[in-house]
Amino acid sequence: MLTVSNWKTFIELIQFGGGAIGVFLNFSLILLTYFRSPPHLGAYKYLMYYISGFEILYAILNAIVQGHLFSHGPAFIFFRNLKHSYFGRAKGFYLLVAYCGSFGLSIALFGVHFIYRYGAVDNVFRKKFLGGKKLLMLFLLPIFYCVWWCLVVIICYRSSSKSDDFMRIPFLENYDTRVEEISYVMIWFHIANDEGILEPRWPTFIGIANLWFMVTSSFVCVIFFGIKCYRKITKALKHSKMSSYYARSIQKQLFQALVLQTLVPVVLMYGPVGILYMFPMLNIEVGFISTFVTATVEVYPAVDPLPTMFIVDNFRKTILCKNKRKIEDLVKSGDQSQNSLSKSFRWLPEPKQEGGSSRIAESGQSCFLLLATCISVIPTVTS
């Protein structure tokens, strides 16, 4: 039978387990990208390093924070317990703020990923909007969103003596914990006046307006550049004279992986959290049921790298320990007819090397060595 105590233990297991698996899988994806990336991928792989690196840091921070979501009446909070913690209440608050900042950074990464991906297939757009310092600005944008959301949380969602009094009894009833024993960020939509009538708490709605602007701006970029990227790839493949399976499929594989990698956080993180926002905004009591959102958020870093690892043929064949000779033959079959399309799809092309057709077979390692490397490095990363 599922009890409150068992559920809390389950959440703790997901927090540590999800973090460890997330670090392992994202680091494995970095190794796959380095050793087994498809030919002519160019510097697009550096964006993959960028995203995998962020998700490793996110997974580690997630395990350190051990945050929980809880809703009560017109408010819900994101909190961490101070028991057996090295951080006091004040420092714990800023640790939560840093975690919230990673939420803002990941929102911006959606748009940046699709803009960068479109620049990889449209030379005119790349030279006009993503050349030189403009490219640096694109990669700094997620950091700007991170700082922006951190400031919003500090200004609009900081705890107070009033919020302590409001959450004191619910925490004793649901967690058997005094409110002074937790650090928390509180989204409090309505507050009772002297007559007991609920009135809007305007700082909260100002913070929500900032959040909706961030989310909307990112998803507009996802939809706009996603459609343009799909049309560009489809048109380029349709008019190319290539006949090899590899040349026709590699760009579709990358785009499909990108779409699924975008859907994962939407389904596991942004969707559930967005729904959770609605209940306290409408003053609907959810109570302990809101902690289910914690479970979906915790598994995000462990699930997000899987689409890329299993959709891209080179990565999937390595993971499943397929014969390397098959991969080499597949690359050779596409080399002769790939030059025309590679000019369109290559992003900041790297110098051409002799024996490019055997790059994967020569520079890659066997599946056993790849997994052994991951296992030997993970303890160093997580320590």
User: How far, in Å, CA of 176 to CA of 376, rounded?
Assistant: 41
Residue 234 has a CB neighbour count (10 Å cut-off) of 13
110: domain CATH number is 1.20.1070.10
How many residues comprise the chain?
383
Structural element, H or E, at residue 233: helix 202-239
Residue 115 belongs to what domain range? Answer: 4-382
pLDDT at position 288 is 66
Residue type at position 136: L
Burial classification of residue 371, based on how many CB atoms lie within 10 Å of its CB (0-12 exposed, 13-18 middle, 19 or more buried): middle
Q: For residue 302, what pLDDT is reported? A: 86
Structural domain count, the chain: 1
Radius of gyration of the chain (CA): 24
What pLDDT does 261 receive? 78
Judge residue 202's burial from the number of C-beta atoms within 10 Å of its C-beta, 0-12 exposed, 13-18 middle, 19 or more buried.
exposed
Whether 364 and 35 have beta carbons less than 8 Å apart is answered as yes
**Would you write out the chain's pLDDT as a tens digit for each of its 383 residues?**
445 567 677 777 887 888 899 999 999 999 998 888 877 676 678 888 988 999 899 889 888 888 888 888 888 889 988 877 788 888 899 999 999 999 889 889 888 988 988 887 788 888 888 888 888 898 899 999 999 999 999 999 998 899 999 999 988 888 888 898 999 999 999 888 888 788 889 999 999 999 999 999 998 999 999 888 888 877 776 666 554 445 456 767 777 887 887 788 888 888 888 888 788 888 887 766 777 787 788 888 888 888 888 888 888 888 888 645 444 444 444 444 344 344 444 443 344 444 443 333 333 444 434 444 444 433 333 33
pTM surpassing 0.85? no
Q: Is 333 exposed, middle or buried (0-12, 13-18, 19+ CB in 10 A)?
A: middle
> What is the DSSP code (8-state) at residue 270?
I
Q: How far apart are CA 26 and CA 55, in angstroms?
A: 7
pLDDT at 281: 84
Copy the structure tokens of residue 54.
């962020």
Model pLDDT, residue 5: 64
